[in-house]
Amino acid sequence: MDLHLAGKHALITGGSKGIGRAAAMTLAEEGCHLTLVARDAATLDATAAAIRARFQVNVRGIAADLSSDAAVRTVADQAGDCDILVNNAGAIPPGEITAVADETWRRAWDLKVFGFISFCRAVYPRMAARKSGVIVNVVGAAGEQFPPNYIAGATGNAALMALTRALGKQAPRDGLRVVGINPGPVATERLVMLQKARAKEQFGDEARWSELFAPMPFGRAATPEEIGNAVAFLASDRSGYTSGTVLTINAGG
């Protein structure tokens, strides 16, 4: 299916690996030019090179820590006007209410929660001035499942769901759309690493990590590509009447 994205410019945070990298690959395949943002310059350069080798699109990497509003606005200025913003950077650590240190909680929210908010505040007015643009917030299913052992992530994600729905309600009057995705477990490098550690502890053999996915729907986690494909579809005019919606992708789990 042609998503009518050829020639568009997509800005993707956390774009060097995992869901961000998968979304970048799909958008590049559709003909989007890309600006990818991540902290690790080497990984960012490797991802950009891999995309350029496969697709005839422009790819720019910006290495930056997005945990402050000033840094976000600097990156937004460097990136210039974009047609699509994919907010994806940040991972909030697990733990119950007393297990997550105040500093850890605040640092994680600065990057993910306030990072998403800052990018929306920086990019939305520019899109509104052109009456064109889409923001896709990759949030996380904990925002609707409320696991107590991931309380910082659950509350942060719930806030980002509210941001997406509230801004998405305003967006059509400005000619824009704002949508979100709540992925369940996704087989990123980080999740596989965590599963290997659990398998070593539980089975004494990290090679058995995939067995831990057995209770999940289809006996597996989602692939980054499945989430990346959804990002591209929601960002396209094939989904042109979707705004203020948060799509859950967890196979019903």
Distances (CA, A) of 44 to 64, 129, 140: 10, 30, 23
Counted domains in the chain: 1
Six token digits for residue 243 = 């705004």
- Report yes or no on 199 lying in a domain: no
- Report yes or no on 29 lying in a domain: yes
List, for residues 140-169, the tens digit of each pLDDT value.
999 999 999 999 999 999 999 999 999 999
- Report yes or no on 201 lying in a domain: no
- Report yes or no on 104 lying in a domain: yes
Strand ranges (E), the chain: 9-13, 33-38, 59-63, 84-87, 134-138, 177-183, 246-249
List, for residues 45-78, the tens digit of each pLDDT value.
999 999 999 999 999 999 999 999 999 999 999 9
How many angstroms separate the CA atoms of 73 and 67, rounded? Answer: 11
> Residue 44's domain is classified under what CATH number?
3.40.50.720
- Report yes or no on 208 lying in a domain: no
pTM of the model: 0.94
Is residue 20 within 8 Å of 14, Cβ to Cβ? yes
- Report yes or no on 253 lying in a domain: no
What is the extent of the structural domain holding 158? Answer: 9-186+222-246
How many angstroms separate the CA atoms of 114 and 117, rounded? Answer: 5
Is residue 152 within 8 Å of 217, Cβ to Cβ? no
Position 36 scores a pLDDT of 98
